[in-house]
Homo-oligomer: A and B are copies of this chain.
């Protein structure tokens, strides 16, 4: 295993410290409960908490800041944070308007975020939850009942974040988050496996010309092992997969996220964006806004995912709202 690390057991803390040291004006790190919070919390808005196992950087801590999240709770690599961590995160970021937990749909995360929410409710804190399940690759999987939550989660962070920032109440922020979840779909593929540090060897093995189509963000199995094809063919196939799951009216507008799974260089992502734009144009789907880069990665996996979010006027306005986080800045 070739990684820039010290000891595998120190990765969470050293990585979080490294993030906060790079952005001391924006973020703080609570080493005891492993949360990365906004430096200045706004107690007059709905609090947004997300998180999960680390290994998806910049998610989730990279989306903490104005216009997006208030707190990211960090589990070990690819492992849910504990009930106690999430509960403490809710307590330390409590606001007058209540808290929304944005949970990627994995059994471990759902269980721990749910239990923590119950504990907080016993303390008379208003808590609501949404579960992101945007991955069209598989219906159920090793770690989920129902679909997995992947890169589309970033749109939930962004749009629910803008709703909270403008002063919406808890139920409205939750409604908006669920509207994003209802309208976002993602499909990914891997050229190479990731290597979980504590394991030290690749999670799976692909031949020289083989890809895993429909891979999950922890290296979970996808739809099929297939031959690597051209960027144009890949993009077309991914758009087909998404549009067979969710319908798009002619000239309907979408937000497009071409997301790196960790190790694919920007050159290839921009090229894939070009192919994706052609595939969408063929389908008469209009792109309102495009995002290309590292948003929801899977350690050092080579590959990419494509997410499409169907937009209406409300979602467009919230997507365009200002955000000032490490990984996503949108100007006022």
Residues of chain A whose beta carbon lies under 8 Å from any beta carbon of chain B: 2-7, 11, 14-19, 21-23, 54-55, 57-58, 62, 191-192, 208-209, 228, 230-232, 234, 258, 262-275, 277, 287, 290-294, 297, 299-300, 302, 304, 324, 329, 331
By the criterion CB–CB under 8 Å, are A22 and B57 in contact?
A: no
Q: Specify which of B6, B231, B300 is in contact with A5 (CB 8 Å cutoff).
A: B231
Distance between Cα atoms of A262 and B260 in the complex (Å): 11
Contact in complex: A300, B265 (CB < 8 Å): yes
B230 touches A5 (CB 8 A): yes
B228 and A290 contact, CB distance less than 8 A: no
Assess the A277–B2 pair: CB atoms within 8 A: no
A234 closest partner in B (C-beta): B4
Contact B300–A263 (Cβ < 8 Å): yes
Docked-complex contact A22 and B290, CB < 8 angstroms: yes
- A17: contacting residue among B2, B58, B209, B274, CB under 8 A: B274
Point out which of A17, A62, A271, A290 has the most chain B C-beta atoms below 10 A from its C-beta: A271
B265, A262: Cβ atoms under 8 Å?
A: yes
Q: How far is the CA of A15 from the CA of B231 in the complex (A)?
A: 11
Nearest-Cβ distance from residue A40 to partner chain B, whole angstroms: 15
Supposing A21-B277, A21-B290, A302-B263 touch, asked if A6 and B270 sit within 8 A by C-beta, the answer is no
Name the distance in Å between A151's Cβ and chain B's nearest Cβ.
Answer: 14
Cα of A234 to Cα of B3 in the assembled complex, Å: 12
> Are the C-beta atoms of A273 and B22 separated by less than 8 Å?
yes
Stoichiometry (number of copies): 2
In contact, A270 and B19 (Cβ under 8 angstroms): yes
Interchain CA distance A275-B14 in the complex, whole Å: 8
A324 to B23, CA, bound (A): 18
Q: How far is the CA of A268 from the CA of B231 in the complex (A)?
A: 28
Q: How far is the CB of A243 from chain B (nearest CB, A)?
A: 19
Q: How far is the CA of A22 from the CA of B267 in the complex (A)?
A: 13
Cβ-neighbour of A15 out of B232, B274, B291 (below 8 A): B274
Q: Is the CB of A267 within 8 A of B231?
A: no
Task: From the candidates B14, B290, B293, B297, name the one contacting A265 in the complex (CB within 8 A).
Answer: B297
Contact of A55 among B6, B62, B267, B290 (CB under 8 A): B267
Known: A272-B18, A302-B263. A228 touches B2 (CB 8 A): yes
* Known contacts A22-B270, A57-B267, A290-B21; A4/B299 CB under 8 A: no
* Across-interface contacts of A5 in B (CB, < 8 A): 230-231, 268, 271
In the complex, the answer to whether B263 meets A18 with C-beta atoms within 8 Å is no
CB distance A270 to B15 under 8 Å? Answer: yes
Pairwise interchain contact B267-A304, C-beta atoms closer than 8 A? no
12 residue pairs from A and B, CB less than 8 Å apart:
A5-B230, A6-B271, A11-B271, A19-B292, A21-B290, A22-B292, A23-B290, A57-B270, A58-B266, A263-B263, A263-B264, A266-B297
Asked if residues A4 and B262 are in contact (CB atoms below 8 Å), the reply is: no
- Cross-chain contact A3 with B268 (CB below 8 angstroms): yes
Contact partner, A18, options B192, B277, B299, Cβ 8 Å: B277
Contact status B300-A57, CB under 8 Å: no
